[in-house]
Amino acid sequence: MHSIFPFLAGLAVAGSPLIAGEAQLLNDGLLVKLRSEAARAHPSAVAGYYKAQAAAHDVRSIRLWNDPMVGLGFMEAEEMMQMEDGDIMVGMEQALPKPGMFEAERRKMEAMGRAETENARSSAIAAGAEAARSAIELALTDESIALQQEQITWLTAMTENARQMAADPMGSSTDALRMETELARENQMLDAARRSRVGYARKLNLVLGRSLDSPWPVLKLPSTPPPVPFARAEIARIPHANPRVRAMMEMAGAANAQSRIANRERLPEIAVGIDTRIYSDTRDVRSTTFGVTMSLPWFNDSSYKAKIAAAKSRELAAGQDVETMRREVAAMVLTAATEAGNAAAQARAFAGEIHEKALKATRTTEAAWISSKAPLGDLLDSARSLFAIRLEQRRMLAMQLAALEELQTLVPNR
């Protein structure tokens, strides 16, 4: 089966020295704890949190009033004129807010702030999903080690049978030597698997921000496949649940606010001012003038129109980008749901009739070999087939959990 999770598709037996104690079930409760720990510790999630905080500060930085302008001037003239008109000129000018500009700018920054919040949520979810997938890898590793230990126990018993059969005057030592070789090979594979588990445990510790050598208990996969959500229902939830789509929807809202900003910029800018003339010797006010100034934007009307048109085009493009992202996520949801459904079906099949027939075949062949009615090669082939079926059943369960984790990343419930 083609898989979107290659690390599981190619995983064989792998592991590390097992920690004594009862195996811990990799259930929803444990996965929730791992996701939360990763979301708190992963640098991408922490960075997203700070970016969201910065966006909140940006909203508060929007000003209704521009800074007032203050001017100071001095007159160089005859003393009589200085006395009459004043030789110091002090002025202040305050631009008035353009109608709707402050509200549009605030709407834009609020939308961008909500987008950063969704991006932060996306980073936290991705970090949690990475931790969950690493835990699934580790659990599958522990399951495969347990299966191989059972295989070695069986091989040990069959090797002893072969030695006893070789001791018979009519027996042959060939089967005993072959069984000893097979047992030695399996032991070497188990040793390598145990060493490999260290890497999987360290990878999980790295994602969680723990010390690399922090110990992990033996993890156990669920005995049966969990239910798979309906793809159609999950696709309907994308606009409300997927943080990347929600972030792009907010950016589309920011683009809409930018269009309004561009439209407000073409309005005349009006400012009120006051100018006062003072005679420096007596500090008497000689005159005070109140005035109003207004910009003339009509000279650049074509530039303003072009800016408005550009903002509108970006707004329309943002809306299409949202739909593009929704479709991309929907395609990934379909893939993940299909992967989960296929893996669950195969896990059930390998745990049912297929396993029963393989077990029966192995026991029958074992009895026939002990009574010298079947060759050793048939017994080993039958045992390997049974082991492969058991391992494949656990691998399919792990693949389903990984697919469901991908589905939760795309359409999270958290």
Distance CA 373, CA 364 (A): 11
Burial class (CB in 10 A: 0-12, 13-18, 19+), 266: middle
pLDDT at 195: 87
Give mean pLDDT, residues 387-392. 92
The number of angstroms, rounded, from the C-alpha of 366 to the middle of its chain's C-alpha atoms is 49
* Mean pLDDT value of segment 118-127: 93
Report whether pLDDT(13) > 50.
Answer: no
Beta pairing, strands 88-95 & 69-74 = antiparallel
Residue pLDDT, tens place only, 360-383: 998 998 888 888 888 888 888 988
* Distance from the first to the final alpha carbon of the chain: 30
> What is the rounded CA–CA span in Å between residue 38 and residue 352?
36
pLDDT 10s digits, 175-200: 888 888 888 998 998 988 888 899 99
Taking residues 329-349, report their average pLDDT.
95
Worst-scoring range by mean pLDDT, 130-144, 165-179, 285-299, 400-414? 165-179
Per-residue pLDDT, 237 = 94
Average pLDDT, the chain: 87
Q: Which two tokens stand for residue 246?
A: 């929600």
- In order of their start, the domains of the chain are 6-410 (1.20.1600.10)
Q: Using 50, 70 and 90 to split pLDDT, how confident is the model at 11?
A: very low
The angle that helices 101-167 and 174-208 make with each other, rounded to 10 degrees, is 160
Mean local confidence (pLDDT), 8-37: 66
pLDDT of residue 171: 56
Find the mean pLDDT for residues 136-140: 94
Give the rounded distance of the alpha carbon of 413 from its chain centre.
Answer: 14
**Which is higher by pLDDT, 267 or 12?**
267
Instruction: For residue 170, name the pLDDT band (cuts at 50, 70, 90).
Output: low
Q: 10 Å Cβ neighbour count for 103?
A: 16
- Positions of E strands within 28-78: 69-74
The 10 Å CB-count burial string (b at 16+, else e) for 267-293 is eebebebebebbbeeeeeebeeeeeee
Condensed to tens digits (0 to 9), the pLDDT of residues 286-307 reads 888 899 989 898 888 899 899 9
pLDDT tier for residue 251 given thresholds of 50, 70 and 90:
very high
The pLDDT, as a whole number, for residue 7 is 35
pLDDT in tens, 72-103: 888 887 778 777 777 888 989 998 898 989 99
- The conformational region for residue 21 under phi > 0 = left, psi -120 to 50 = alpha, else beta, is left
pLDDT at residue number 127: 94
Tell me: pLDDT of 16 over 60: no
Which residue has better confidence, 225 or 78?
225
Helix (H) or strand (E) holding 289: strand 284-294
Instruction: Let me know: does 254 contact 112? Beta carbons within 8 Å.
Output: yes
Which DSSP string do the residues of 119-139 spell out, in sequence order?
A: HHHHHHHHHHHHHHHHHHHHH
Q: What is the pLDDT of residue 76?
A: 81
How confident is residue 226, by pLDDT bands cut at 50, 70 and 90? very high
The amino acid occupying position 410 is: L
- The three-class DSSP label of residue 53 is helix
Q: In whole angstroms, give the CA distance from residue 409 to residue 62.
A: 34
Mean pLDDT, to the nearest integer, of 4-27? 50
Residue 266 — φ and ψ, nearest 5°?
-80, -10
Asked whether the beta carbons of 93 and 66 are under 8 A apart, the reply is: no
